Structure 1
Amino acid sequence: MPRMHDFEITRDVEFAQVDGRPLLLDLYRPVAEDDVPAVVMLHGGAWMLGDRTMYAAERIEPVVRHGIAVASASYRFTDEATYPAQLHDVKAAVRWVRANAEEHGLSAERVGAWGASAGGYLALMLGLTGGRDELEGDVGGHTGLDSSVQAVCALFAPSDLVALDDHVPDPDMPFPAHIQRGPAFDGPSPSARLLGLSAIRDDTEAALAASPVMHAGRGDARFLLLHGDADPMVPVSQSQAMFGALAGAGQDASLLILAGANHEGPEFARPPVLAAVAEFFADAL
């Protein structure tokens, strides 16, 4: 049986300021360990909802017990800024980890990204846009440090914004009970809002340029994709397409499909699934 680690949490760490307001992260770190591999965790919520504490007890803490440090970071929502602002924010979180690694007993060389849904999209983009000056931004400083990551785990992540916008949910797949289709989802789709559009079809070129599937083959990160086959919000075809693009480009990628799992379903917090996530990061970092 793998060794389980005690851990400590440092909350509300400011890793950047944007327009006078702080962007914060919570750092989960195995106790009494040094040079620990670190993962930047990015929550879901359609780029307009949620927070960095989501699923902390269910997903983050079990992975930390396997010896992986996790920095769960906030980023700007689409009511405040549009793409690529969100990517700039999470790149700033990666640079913060590298800049402050020694102080917190982390490895500055072994940094990954982990995200769910909208956060999974951002994790994919982190893994595929390293060294791209036009996407780097200057949020948070430390701009001389590398914002690329060596490993990415993406849960039920959008990968093709055009195809996602065309997706018609299967009526036989119920919307997740814990995610309400309230007023926040009225109007433009989340993908369109991300790009500041009324509809994706208004600028499919921009939507494709912002789609992870179009960046496959860039960088040398390793990828683990997880998706449920009963997801009406982000269909499993999104991860299948991402896996196909990565594999076709010769990148190291694995795809795990969870039978019967809905969007943000409890299946993604099962011990064998989280053990696989932790093992992936331990091996890839």
Structure 2
Amino acid sequence: MRSDRDLKAHRRARTIAVAAVLLAGLSGCAGAQATAGAPEPRAAASASPRPIAVVVERGVEYTRAGGEALLADVLRPDRPSAARLPAVVYIHGGSWRRGTREQGHELLPQLVATGRYVGLTIEYRFTPAFSWPAQLHDARAAVRWARAAAGRYGIDPERIAVWGESAGGQIASMLGTTDGDAAIEGDLPSPQDPRPPARPLSSRVQAVVNFCGPTDMEAFFASASTPEEIAEMHGRLDPLFNGPPPERADLVRSASAIHHVDARDPPFLLMHGTRDEVVPYRLSEAMHRALLRAGAPSVLVPVAAWGHGFRGAEIDRRVLAFLDRHLWSAPIVVSSEPVRAERTPD
């Protein structure tokens, strides 16, 4: 049995040990390095950084067409990983006749929350009031605007990607495969940078993501077989081309990205549902082959056993990997293995 003196000494030693542990914990919270090899699961959890928040600026005018403003929403990380970030311009779908820039808010926040990207989701002119190539002119004006506003939004003007779905994918693919032609570029005004650029602003993009967008408009029109499908196809494309596609063959061909492919094209990521009954999967297969034959980088990712429009965590990861590889030069191999969708777009 211990004496009173031994008990007092034991208690004093234990008090000193507890105080030392508490002091060490406070020092760790203040930023001191932990002892090498010491387990610190609680300290690691408490020291983890807060998630990056997405700051949204809505309704920014990026150009004017026919006296009316065309608007974009800008999504930025509150803690960017660099002073200048790549930008991703999102173009929504809707058969060229409907849709809103709000659709981009379903996909862009996942990219922006990494701290590595600025997102822009745009509106564009619809049919039947505006026929092709008004939609492409709008998208090109948006890319030029992103470059003009690079300083304001922390954008690297040399790293701009475009991401489109369905009709937006067709527009995005045309952005990627056409460049420098005045008829394709359009003449919509661009915002003026406080310091005039040394050379005219370019609408060239450095990467393209196409979700189930038609890249061969002739083959797209011909894919309709039943009377109902043919009627629906005419409803989509007659207003776009200001007449039935067979009667507007030159314009239809000029709106087909597959006919503009060459070795100078930026990298493409094509994602497409293998059971798409609106835009056949084989159109993306043909575009992929055409890009590779021309010497342009392309990855085709099938969305297994899925139709038109898709969402899913693995789909998000595949897009992020592609953009990181081509806009951040990350040493990543972007897999072409099929992915599974989890749901259709909201």
TM over 0.5: yes
Aligned residue in 1 for 2:108: 60
| Deviation per residue, 1:174-233 (Å, 9 max, x gap) | xxxxxxx9xxx7582423321111x21112222112100101116331110000011100
Q: Give the aligned CA root-mean-square deviation in angstroms.
A: 2.2
CA contact (8 A) 1:11 1:27 kept: yes
Instruction: Give unpaired runs (5+ residues) of structure 1.
Output: 171-180
Between structure 1 and structure 2, the one with the greater Rg is 2
CA contact (8 A) 1:28 1:61 kept: yes
CA contact (8 A) 2:62 2:190 kept: no
Aligned residue in 2 for 1:13: 60
Instruction: Give unpaired runs (5+ residues) of structure 2.
Output: 1-49, 192-198, 328-346
Tell me how far apart the structure 1 counterparts of residues 189 and 51 of structure 2 sit (CA, whole Å).
34
Q: Does 2:146 align with 1:97?
A: yes
Tell me how far apart the structure 2 counterparts of residues 118 and 99 of structure 1 sit (CA, whole Å).
26
Greater strand percent: which structure?
1
After TM superposition, the score normalised by the length of structure 2 is 0.73
Aligned residue in 2 for 1:27: 74
Tell me by how many angstroms 1:133 deviates.
2.0
CA contact (8 A) 2:74 2:120 kept: yes
CA contact (8 A) 2:263 2:295 kept: no
Tell me how far apart the structure 1 counterparts of residues 126 and 183 of structure 2 sit (CA, whole Å).
20
Greater helix percent: which structure?
2
Aligned residue in 1 for 2:221: 165
After TM superposition, the score normalised by the length of structure 1 is 0.88
| Deviation per residue, 1:235-257 (Å, 9 max, x gap) | 10111111111111110001000
Runs of 4+ that moved beyond 6 A: none
Are the structure 2 counterparts of residues 47 and 240 from structure 1 closer, same or farther at C-alpha, using a change threshold of 3 Å?
same
Match 1:227 to one of 266, 272, 280: 272
Match 2:240 to one of 180, 191, 194: 194
Tell me how far apart the structure 1 counterparts of residues 275 and 189 of structure 2 sit (CA, whole Å).
38
Tell me how far apart the structure 2 counterparts of residues 139 and 36 of structure 1 sit (CA, whole Å).
26
Tell me by how many angstroms 1:275 deviates.
1.5
Tell me how far apart the structure 2 counterparts of residues 118 and 44 of structure 1 sit (CA, whole Å).
5
Q: Does 2:165 align with 1:116?
A: yes
Describe how 1:223-262 pairs up with structure 2 within 5 A. 223-262=268-307
CA contact (8 A) 1:165 1:189 kept: no
CA contact (8 A) 2:127 2:239 kept: yes
Aligned residue in 1 for 2:174: 125
For these two proteins, the number of residue pairs brought into alignment is 267
Aligned residue in 2 for 1:210: 255
Tell me by how many angstroms 1:109 deviates.
1.0
SS in 2 for 1:242: helix
Tell me how far apart the structure 1 counterparts of residues 307 and 255 of structure 2 sit (CA, whole Å).
25
Aligned residue in 1 for 2:200: 144
| Deviation per residue, 1:18-40 (Å, 9 max, x gap) | 12211000011112222011011
CA contact (8 A) 2:72 2:123 kept: yes
Tell me how far apart the structure 1 counterparts of residues 273 and 225 of structure 2 sit (CA, whole Å).
14
Instruction: Kindly indicate whether structure 1 or structure 2 has the higher relative contact order, using CA contacts under 8 Å at least 6 residues apart.
Output: 1
CA contact (8 A) 1:92 1:141 kept: yes
